[in-house]
Amino acid sequence: MSTANHSTTCRIDTTFSKLSESSTPAFVAYVSAGDPTLEKCLAIIRSIADAGADVIELGVPFSDPLADGAVNQLAADRALKAGCTLAKVLDLISDFRTTHQTPIVLFTYLNPIFTYGYEKFVVDAKQAGADGVLLLDLPPDEAKLNKEFAEKHELKNITLIAPTSPAERIESLAKQSQGFIYALSRTGVTGAQAAPSQSIGATVHAIKQHTDVPVCVGFGINTPDQAAMVASVSDGVIVGSAIVNQIAENADKSPQELATIIGTFVKPLIDATHQ
Protein backbone atom coordinates (compact mmCIF):
# COMPACT_ATOMS: atom_id res chain seq x y z
CA MET A 1 0.00 0.00 0.00
CA SER A 2 1.14 3.53 -0.74
CA THR A 3 2.70 5.35 2.19
CA ALA A 4 2.23 8.84 0.79
CA ASN A 5 1.95 11.48 3.48
CA HIS A 6 -1.65 12.62 3.07
CA SER A 7 -2.89 15.85 4.61
CA THR A 8 -4.20 15.62 8.14
CA THR A 9 -6.67 18.48 7.54
CA CYS A 10 -10.13 16.98 7.63
CA ARG A 11 -11.43 17.11 4.09
CA ILE A 12 -14.99 16.42 5.27
CA ASP A 13 -15.08 19.41 7.64
CA THR A 14 -13.36 21.67 5.10
CA THR A 15 -15.81 20.68 2.36
CA PHE A 16 -18.96 21.22 4.42
CA SER A 17 -17.60 24.47 5.84
CA LYS A 18 -16.99 25.81 2.34
CA LEU A 19 -20.44 24.69 1.15
CA SER A 20 -22.16 26.29 4.16
CA GLU A 21 -20.68 29.69 3.28
CA SER A 22 -22.91 29.74 0.18
CA SER A 23 -25.73 27.64 1.70
CA THR A 24 -25.03 24.95 -0.89
CA PRO A 25 -26.12 21.37 -0.07
CA ALA A 26 -23.52 18.63 -0.58
CA PHE A 27 -23.76 15.85 -3.13
CA VAL A 28 -22.55 12.52 -1.75
CA ALA A 29 -22.06 9.67 -4.23
CA TYR A 30 -21.93 6.00 -3.23
CA VAL A 31 -20.26 3.23 -5.23
CA SER A 32 -19.17 -0.25 -4.26
CA ALA A 33 -15.37 -0.32 -4.20
CA GLY A 34 -13.91 -2.59 -6.87
CA ASP A 35 -17.12 -2.75 -8.91
CA PRO A 36 -16.94 -4.00 -11.60
CA THR A 37 -13.13 -4.11 -11.30
CA LEU A 38 -10.64 -2.06 -9.30
CA GLU A 39 -9.29 -0.39 -12.46
CA LYS A 40 -12.77 0.61 -13.62
CA CYS A 41 -13.79 1.73 -10.14
CA LEU A 42 -10.82 4.10 -9.94
CA ALA A 43 -11.82 5.66 -13.28
CA ILE A 44 -15.44 5.92 -12.05
CA ILE A 45 -14.69 7.70 -8.78
CA ARG A 46 -12.34 10.10 -10.53
CA SER A 47 -15.12 10.89 -13.01
CA ILE A 48 -17.65 11.39 -10.20
CA ALA A 49 -15.23 13.77 -8.46
CA ASP A 50 -14.64 15.65 -11.72
CA ALA A 51 -18.42 15.98 -12.17
CA GLY A 52 -18.52 17.92 -8.90
CA ALA A 53 -19.40 15.40 -6.17
CA ASP A 54 -18.52 16.77 -2.74
CA VAL A 55 -18.03 13.44 -0.93
CA ILE A 56 -17.58 9.87 -2.17
CA GLU A 57 -18.75 6.89 -0.14
CA LEU A 58 -16.93 3.68 -0.99
CA GLY A 59 -18.72 0.49 0.01
CA VAL A 60 -16.35 -2.23 1.21
CA PRO A 61 -17.46 -5.46 -0.54
CA PHE A 62 -18.81 -8.01 1.93
CA SER A 63 -20.42 -11.42 1.44
CA ASP A 64 -23.45 -10.72 3.67
CA PRO A 65 -24.51 -7.08 3.16
CA LEU A 66 -27.82 -7.34 5.02
CA ALA A 67 -28.67 -3.63 4.96
CA ASP A 68 -28.28 -3.46 1.20
CA GLY A 69 -30.84 -4.11 -1.49
CA ALA A 70 -30.30 -6.28 -4.56
CA VAL A 71 -28.49 -3.61 -6.59
CA ASN A 72 -25.74 -3.06 -4.01
CA GLN A 73 -25.58 -6.75 -3.07
CA LEU A 74 -24.85 -7.62 -6.70
CA ALA A 75 -22.26 -4.85 -6.86
CA ALA A 76 -20.47 -6.29 -3.81
CA ASP A 77 -20.61 -9.73 -5.41
CA ARG A 78 -19.09 -8.44 -8.67
CA ALA A 79 -16.31 -6.72 -6.73
CA LEU A 80 -15.52 -9.81 -4.64
CA LYS A 81 -15.45 -12.01 -7.76
CA ALA A 82 -13.06 -9.51 -9.35
CA GLY A 83 -10.70 -10.04 -6.41
CA CYS A 84 -11.44 -6.95 -4.33
CA THR A 85 -10.32 -7.07 -0.68
CA LEU A 86 -10.23 -4.44 2.05
CA ALA A 87 -6.48 -4.02 1.51
CA LYS A 88 -7.12 -3.38 -2.19
CA VAL A 89 -9.84 -0.87 -1.32
CA LEU A 90 -7.23 1.08 0.66
CA ASP A 91 -4.85 0.87 -2.32
CA LEU A 92 -7.68 2.22 -4.49
CA ILE A 93 -8.01 5.24 -2.18
CA SER A 94 -4.24 5.81 -2.30
CA ASP A 95 -4.36 5.77 -6.10
CA PHE A 96 -7.30 8.20 -6.10
CA ARG A 97 -5.37 10.54 -3.78
CA THR A 98 -2.63 10.97 -6.38
CA THR A 99 -5.08 13.04 -8.44
CA HIS A 100 -8.03 14.12 -6.24
CA GLN A 101 -8.76 15.48 -2.77
CA THR A 102 -12.53 14.78 -2.66
CA PRO A 103 -13.40 13.42 0.83
CA ILE A 104 -13.86 9.64 1.02
CA VAL A 105 -15.96 7.75 3.56
CA LEU A 106 -15.70 3.97 3.86
CA PHE A 107 -19.15 2.41 4.13
CA THR A 108 -18.71 -1.00 5.67
CA TYR A 109 -19.90 -3.78 7.95
CA LEU A 110 -17.97 -4.80 11.06
CA ASN A 111 -16.78 -8.18 9.86
CA PRO A 112 -14.24 -7.00 7.22
CA ILE A 113 -12.83 -4.43 9.65
CA PHE A 114 -12.31 -6.78 12.57
CA THR A 115 -10.94 -9.48 10.28
CA TYR A 116 -8.41 -6.92 9.06
CA GLY A 117 -7.78 -5.69 12.62
CA TYR A 118 -9.59 -2.59 13.89
CA GLU A 119 -6.56 -0.58 14.98
CA LYS A 120 -4.62 -1.54 11.86
CA PHE A 121 -7.61 -0.58 9.74
CA VAL A 122 -7.93 2.89 11.28
CA VAL A 123 -4.23 3.61 10.83
CA ASP A 124 -4.04 2.20 7.29
CA ALA A 125 -7.31 3.81 6.14
CA LYS A 126 -6.17 7.26 7.28
CA GLN A 127 -2.74 6.71 5.74
CA ALA A 128 -4.35 5.73 2.44
CA GLY A 129 -6.35 8.96 2.41
CA ALA A 130 -9.76 7.99 3.82
CA ASP A 131 -11.56 10.65 5.85
CA GLY A 132 -14.35 8.79 7.62
CA VAL A 133 -15.98 5.45 8.21
CA LEU A 134 -19.61 4.43 8.52
CA LEU A 135 -19.97 1.08 10.29
CA LEU A 136 -23.42 -0.17 9.36
CA ASP A 137 -23.89 -2.85 11.99
CA LEU A 138 -22.02 -1.34 14.95
CA PRO A 139 -24.43 -0.72 17.87
CA PRO A 140 -24.23 2.90 19.11
CA ASP A 141 -23.17 1.82 22.61
CA GLU A 142 -20.26 -0.14 21.17
CA ALA A 143 -19.32 2.75 18.88
CA LYS A 144 -18.24 4.78 21.89
CA LEU A 145 -15.51 2.23 22.59
CA ASN A 146 -14.01 2.69 19.12
CA LYS A 147 -14.50 6.43 18.84
CA GLU A 148 -11.48 7.57 20.82
CA PHE A 149 -9.02 5.54 18.79
CA ALA A 150 -10.54 6.70 15.51
CA GLU A 151 -10.45 10.33 16.69
CA LYS A 152 -6.78 10.00 17.59
CA HIS A 153 -6.15 9.14 13.94
CA GLU A 154 -8.54 11.80 12.63
CA LEU A 155 -10.91 9.34 10.97
CA LYS A 156 -14.48 10.60 11.38
CA ASN A 157 -17.20 8.26 12.67
CA ILE A 158 -20.20 8.91 10.41
CA THR A 159 -23.54 8.21 12.09
CA LEU A 160 -26.58 6.61 10.45
CA ILE A 161 -30.02 7.69 11.71
CA ALA A 162 -33.29 6.05 10.62
CA PRO A 163 -36.67 7.84 10.56
CA THR A 164 -38.02 5.21 12.93
CA SER A 165 -35.41 5.95 15.61
CA PRO A 166 -36.95 6.95 18.97
CA ALA A 167 -36.37 10.55 20.06
CA GLU A 168 -33.83 9.50 22.73
CA ARG A 169 -31.84 7.46 20.18
CA ILE A 170 -31.86 10.34 17.69
CA GLU A 171 -30.52 12.65 20.40
CA SER A 172 -27.79 10.19 21.43
CA LEU A 173 -26.69 9.48 17.85
CA ALA A 174 -26.77 13.14 16.84
CA LYS A 175 -24.64 14.20 19.81
CA GLN A 176 -21.92 11.64 19.03
CA SER A 177 -21.91 12.31 15.29
CA GLN A 178 -18.88 13.57 13.40
CA GLY A 179 -18.28 14.80 9.87
CA PHE A 180 -21.86 14.48 8.71
CA ILE A 181 -24.94 12.42 9.55
CA TYR A 182 -26.44 9.94 7.08
CA ALA A 183 -30.19 10.29 7.61
CA LEU A 184 -32.31 7.62 5.94
CA SER A 185 -35.17 9.05 3.90
CA ARG A 186 -37.28 5.97 4.63
CA THR A 187 -37.07 2.53 6.20
CA GLY A 188 -35.97 -0.68 4.45
CA VAL A 189 -32.83 -1.73 2.62
CA THR A 190 -30.90 0.40 0.13
CA GLY A 191 -32.29 0.64 -3.36
CA ALA A 192 -33.94 2.88 -5.86
CA GLN A 193 -37.38 1.23 -5.80
CA ALA A 194 -39.23 3.73 -3.60
CA ALA A 195 -39.08 7.51 -3.75
CA PRO A 196 -37.82 9.49 -0.74
CA SER A 197 -40.38 10.07 1.99
CA GLN A 198 -42.17 13.42 2.11
CA SER A 199 -41.42 13.64 5.85
CA ILE A 200 -37.68 14.12 5.32
CA GLY A 201 -37.83 17.74 6.44
CA ALA A 202 -39.29 16.75 9.80
CA THR A 203 -36.66 14.02 10.24
CA VAL A 204 -33.81 16.46 9.48
CA HIS A 205 -35.32 19.08 11.81
CA ALA A 206 -35.56 16.54 14.66
CA ILE A 207 -31.88 15.61 14.24
CA LYS A 208 -30.73 19.23 14.04
CA GLN A 209 -32.21 19.96 17.46
CA HIS A 210 -29.20 18.13 18.92
CA THR A 211 -26.21 18.86 16.68
CA ASP A 212 -24.51 21.34 14.34
CA VAL A 213 -23.10 18.49 12.25
CA PRO A 214 -24.46 18.56 8.65
CA VAL A 215 -27.36 16.18 7.94
CA CYS A 216 -27.32 14.44 4.54
CA VAL A 217 -30.22 12.33 3.32
CA GLY A 218 -30.11 9.12 1.28
CA PHE A 219 -32.23 6.13 0.15
CA GLY A 220 -34.36 6.10 -2.97
CA ILE A 221 -33.03 9.22 -4.70
CA ASN A 222 -32.80 8.65 -8.48
CA THR A 223 -33.73 11.81 -10.33
CA PRO A 224 -32.64 15.47 -10.37
CA ASP A 225 -36.13 16.48 -9.16
CA GLN A 226 -35.86 14.15 -6.16
CA ALA A 227 -32.33 15.41 -5.46
CA ALA A 228 -33.53 19.02 -5.54
CA MET A 229 -36.43 18.22 -3.20
CA VAL A 230 -34.17 16.53 -0.65
CA ALA A 231 -31.52 19.27 -0.99
CA SER A 232 -34.15 21.90 -0.12
CA VAL A 233 -34.66 20.42 3.38
CA SER A 234 -31.20 19.04 4.23
CA ASP A 235 -27.46 19.74 4.14
CA GLY A 236 -26.80 17.14 1.49
CA VAL A 237 -28.10 14.47 -0.87
CA ILE A 238 -26.75 10.91 -0.97
CA VAL A 239 -27.22 8.85 -4.15
CA GLY A 240 -26.09 5.24 -4.29
CA SER A 241 -28.21 2.55 -5.93
CA ALA A 242 -29.08 4.70 -8.95
CA ILE A 243 -25.34 5.12 -9.68
CA VAL A 244 -24.54 1.47 -8.94
CA ASN A 245 -27.31 0.43 -11.31
CA GLN A 246 -25.71 2.45 -14.12
CA ILE A 247 -22.38 0.76 -13.39
CA ALA A 248 -24.04 -2.67 -13.58
CA GLU A 249 -25.69 -1.88 -16.91
CA ASN A 250 -22.39 -0.73 -18.44
CA ALA A 251 -19.92 -3.00 -16.63
CA ASP A 252 -18.54 -4.46 -19.89
CA LYS A 253 -17.42 -1.05 -21.19
CA SER A 254 -13.80 0.07 -21.07
CA PRO A 255 -12.68 1.96 -17.94
CA GLN A 256 -12.82 5.33 -19.69
CA GLU A 257 -16.14 4.66 -21.44
CA LEU A 258 -17.70 3.53 -18.17
CA ALA A 259 -16.29 6.53 -16.29
CA THR A 260 -17.71 8.90 -18.92
CA ILE A 261 -21.16 7.28 -18.70
CA ILE A 262 -21.23 7.55 -14.90
CA GLY A 263 -19.92 11.12 -14.91
CA THR A 264 -22.63 12.09 -17.39
CA PHE A 265 -25.28 10.36 -15.27
CA VAL A 266 -24.35 12.05 -11.98
CA LYS A 267 -23.83 15.58 -13.36
CA PRO A 268 -27.57 16.51 -13.51
CA LEU A 269 -28.06 15.06 -10.00
CA ILE A 270 -25.14 17.14 -8.70
CA ASP A 271 -26.36 20.28 -10.47
CA ALA A 272 -29.88 19.83 -9.04
CA THR A 273 -28.41 19.40 -5.54
CA HIS A 274 -26.18 22.47 -5.83
CA GLN A 275 -28.85 24.82 -7.26
CA angle 253, 95, 92 (to 5 degrees): 65
Residue 153 and residue 6 in contact, taking contact as beta carbons nearer than 8 Å:
no
Secondary structure tally for the chain: helices H, strands E: 12, 9
* 273, burial (CB in 10 Å: exposed 0-12, middle 13-18, buried 19+): buried
Cα→Cα distances 238→29, 73, 201, Å: 6, 18, 15
List, in order, residues 6 or more apart from 14 with CB less than 8 Å away: none
Catalytic residue among 39, 50, 64, 68: 68
Residue 273 and residue 59 in contact, taking contact as beta carbons nearer than 8 Å:
no
Catalytic residue among 57, 95, 124, 235: 57
φ and ψ of 102, to 5 deg? -60, 130
Residue 185 and residue 196 in contact, taking contact as beta carbons nearer than 8 Å:
yes
Question: 107: closest CA among 77, 144, 152, 72?
Answer: 72
Annotation marks residue 142 as catalytic: no
Catalytically active residues, by annotation: 57, 68
